[in-house]
Amino acid sequence: MPVAINQLHPAFAGEVSGIDCTKPLAPDEVAAIEAGMDRYAVLVFRDQDLSDDQQIAFTRHFGELESYKEAGHIQKAWDRRLRAGMADFSNLDKDGNIISAEDRVWFFKLGDRLWHSDSSFRPVPAKYSLLSGRVLPSWGANTDFADMRAAYDALDDRTKAEIEPLVCLHSLIYSREAIGFTDLTPDEIEAFRPIRQRLVRIHPVTGRKSLFLAAHAGAIEGWTIPEARMFLRDLTEHATQREFVYSHSWRLNDLVMWDNRQTMHRARRFDRNEVRDVRRTTLAGDVITIEQLA
Picking from 80, 69, 132, the residue whose alpha carbon sits closest to that of residue 277 is 132
Among 3-12, 185-194, 240-249, where is mean pLDDT lowest? 3-12
Output 290 or 60, whichever has higher pLDDT.
60
Residue 130 pLDDT exceeds 70: yes
Order of strands, sheet of 255-259, starting from the edge strand that comes earlier in the sequence? 4-7, 14-17, 42-45, 255-259, 128-135, 277-282, 87-88
What pLDDT is stored for residue 11 in this prediction?
73
Classify 215 in phi/psi space as left (phi over 0), alpha (psi -120 to 50) or beta: alpha
Residue 71 pLDDT exceeds 70: no
Whole-number average pLDDT of the chain: 95
> How far is Cα 83 from Cα 53, in angstroms, rounded to an integer?
9
Cβ neighbours of residue 73 closer than 8 Å, sequence gap 6 or more: 108
What pLDDT is stored for residue 77 in this prediction?
74
Cβ neighbours of residue 213 closer than 8 Å, sequence gap 6 or more: 115, 117, 148, 199, 232, 235, 236, 239, 264
- Grade residue 10 by pLDDT with cuts at 50, 70 and 90: confident
> How far is Cα 262 from Cα 252, in angstroms, rounded to an integer?
26
- Grade residue 23 by pLDDT with cuts at 50, 70 and 90: very high
* Single-letter amino acid, residue 125: P
Asked if residue 74 lies in contact with residue 188, where contact means CB atoms within 8 angstroms, the answer is yes
> How far is Cα 68 from Cα 207, in angstroms, rounded to an integer?
28
What pLDDT is stored for residue 69 in this prediction?
60
Residue 37 pLDDT exceeds 90: yes
> How far is Cα 225 from Cα 232, in angstroms, rounded to an integer?
10
pLDDT in tens, 237-293: 999 999 999 999 999 999 999 999 999 999 999 999 999 999 999 999 988 898 876
Cβ neighbours of residue 41 closer than 8 Å, sequence gap 6 or more: 12, 13, 145, 147, 149, 258, 259, 262, 263
pLDDT in tens, 139-176: 999 999 999 999 999 999 999 999 999 999 999 999 99
What pLDDT is stored for residue 293 in this prediction?
62
Helix, strand, coil fractions of the chain, as percent rounded to 5: 30, 25, 45
Percent pLDDT > 90 in the chain is 90
* Single-letter amino acid, residue 56: I
What would the mean pLDDT of 210-229 be, rounded to a whole number? Answer: 98
Give 158-187 as a DSSP string: HHHHHHTT-EEEE-HHHHHHHTT-----HH
